[in-house]
Amino acid sequence: MNHPYLPLTDGQRRAMLDTIGVSDFAELLAEVPEELRLKKPLDLPASQSELELSTGFHQLAEMNVLPELSFLGAGAYQHYIPAVVNHLAKRSEFYTAYTPYQPELSQGMLQAIFEFQSYISELFGLPVANASLYDGPTALAEAVLMALKETRRNQVLLPETLHPSLIEVVRTYLRDSGVEIIILPCPAGVQEIEHLAKSLSEECAAVVIQNPNRYGILEDLSRLIELTRQAGAVPISYVQPLTLGLLEAPGRLGAEIVVGEGQPLGLPLSYGGPYLGLMAVSERFMRRIPGRLVGETLDRDGRISYVLTLQAREQHIRREKATSNICSNQALCALRAAIYLGVLGPKGLHQVAQRCYDNAHYLAAELNKAGFPLRFEQPFFMEFAIHTSRPAADLIHSLAARGIMPGLDLGRFDPALDHSLLVCATEIFSKTQLDRFCTEMRDLG
């Protein structure tokens, strides 16, 4: 053995080379042009023992400086995760479950995914939910593709109130497609009904409505959906799922496709992932939905069993007939979401959403007293934008030195908002912590 991390003996390497008929490793690379080959050893440190390696990683981790309080949201949120979520999700039969292609091997995982689909269908108010996607932004892009194929139209309306990252992912998906993307201006921080009415045409395939939007503001979802449907376009709603503990499900308001990011449902903030795409659709889109669906049936002995069904993917049908090339359903993340929703139930979900709402509105009122008024006078849920007397980036820098991350500098996305801070307060904060934040903000004003 030449390397502790590549546990092959010289004899095993020799046997592999002999099997494929080459004399040495260099001959194996003969087809690679000479100018592309590395002429020196890789710049890697010498091998270390397990103890040395573990100590090194701990030393690197200690260099991280984590804030005592963080009010950062904008798409990734701190929520309390009940201990039972980790306890159940870490059971070995789930961690080691093979990808659920083979129902005879993965009945437990398939049942968990079926229950996940059922929860999302109920939460979003639509009859069909798939077995999850990569993350919220890609779920939104897939939703737009479905609307384009279904309507055979060639235009998509995206409001300015949509998160910039969502807009960029949709742009990336539609690049070179010839589809026209129209960004609707929203100077008051919300989609304006009159502006949308003027922008809709017979070419419009879909209108995307994020609720709450990028500023945390609640849109007039019902009227926007109704207007979109009247124009023959598909209303697509992008939601933060925990808000549905208080708000009506978009599907029950008329949205035909509802998507979102599932991270708030029992997934930790873990350096940006892995995340979980949520999607539910009306029956009209049942055969266009990307990814997988798990169905419940009976086996030949009359016992309940679960199977993958309606998989319109490249792996199962001809490429030109495929609805998507999505090839992962984030099964373990979906399992965590299913456990989280099952543990909370409707009453628990309502309580979490109510506490988020109450904390955010208490904090907004106290910050207003401290000299930080709302940037937009609109109803909001658990995030809100405030005016800052000096550039938000400076304020963030000063508060970080006191162990507080106050929120997101909106000037990163729009220079006109460089004195605006997006603040998020979820259910995890106590009144003492919220008051401390206000005191620190007042001091730095």
Stated as kind and residue range, the H or E segment containing 56 is: helix 50-61
Stated as kind and residue range, the H or E segment containing 306 is: strand 304-309
Distance of CA 430 to the CA centre of its chain: 26
242/358 Cα distance (integer angstroms): 14
Scored b (16 or more CB within 10 A) or e, 196-207 reads: beebbeeebbbb
Q: What is the dihedral of CA 436, 438, 444, 445, to 10 degrees?
A: -170
Per DSSP, helices labelled H in 160-267 are 164-174, 193-199, 221-230
420/443 Cα distance (integer angstroms): 18
Residue type, 410: L
Stated as kind and residue range, the H or E segment containing 400 is: helix 392-400
DSSP 10-23: HHHHHHHHHHHT-S
Residue type, 406: P
User: In the CATH scheme, what is the code of domain 345-444?
Assistant: 3.90.1150.10
| pLDDT at residue number 326 | 73
What size, in residues, is the chain?
445
50/52 Cα distance (integer angstroms): 6
Using CA atoms, how far residue 179 sits from 148, 165, 271, 414, in Å, is 9, 19, 34, 25
Scored b (16 or more CB within 10 A) or e, 252-280 reads: ebbbbbbbbbbbbbbbeeeeeeebbbbbb
Task: Give the SS3 label for residue 326.
Answer: coil
Other beta carbons within 10 angstroms of residue 386's beta carbon come to: 25
Q: Whose structure tokens read 């990683």?
A: 57
User: Phi/psi zone of residue 291: left (φ > 0), alpha (ψ -120 to 50 degrees), beta?
Assistant: left
The two tokens of residue 288 are: 């266009």
Residue type, 115: E
Rounded to the nearest 5°, which phi and psi values hold at 47?
-60, 150
Q: What is the pLDDT along the chain (445 residues), one digit of tens a residue?
A: 456 667 788 899 999 999 999 999 889 888 899 899 888 888 888 888 889 999 999 999 999 888 999 999 999 999 999 999 999 999 888 877 666 666 666 788 889 999 999 999 999 999 999 988 899 999 999 999 999 999 999 999 999 999 999 999 999 999 989 999 999 999 899 999 999 999 999 999 999 999 999 999 999 999 999 999 999 999 999 999 999 999 999 999 999 999 999 999 999 998 888 999 999 999 999 988 988 889 999 989 999 999 888 776 656 666 666 667 776 778 899 999 999 999 999 999 999 999 999 999 999 999 999 999 999 999 999 999 999 999 999 999 999 999 999 999 999 999 999 999 999 999 999 999 999 999 999 988 7
Using CA atoms, how far residue 270 sits from 89, 156, 212, 275, 377, in Å, is 16, 33, 23, 9, 33
CATH T-level topology, domain 83-341: Aspartate Aminotransferase; domain 2 (3.40.640)
Using CA atoms, how far residue 212 sits from 17, 25, 48, 162, 241, in Å, is 59, 57, 50, 9, 10
319: which DSSP letter? G
Asked if 434 and 85 touch (Cβ cutoff 8 Å), the reply is no
Q: In what order do the strands lie in the sheet with 383-387?
A: 383-387, 420-424, 408-409
CA within 13 Å, CB half, 368? 13
Q: Which is nearest to 324 in space by CA: 332, 315, 333?
A: 315
206/156 Cα distance (integer angstroms): 5
Rounded to the nearest 5°, which phi and psi values hold at 415?
-55, -25
66/73 Cα distance (integer angstroms): 15
Q: Which sequence spans correspond to the domains of the chain?
A: 83-341, 345-444
412/392 Cα distance (integer angstroms): 10
Task: Give the SS3 label for residue 34.
Answer: helix
The β-bridge partners of 219 are none
371/387 Cα distance (integer angstroms): 9
Rounded to the nearest 5°, which phi and psi values hold at 340?
-60, -50
Q: Specify burial of residue 416 (Cβ count, 10 A radius: 0-12, 13-18, 19+).
A: exposed
| pLDDT at residue number 319 | 64
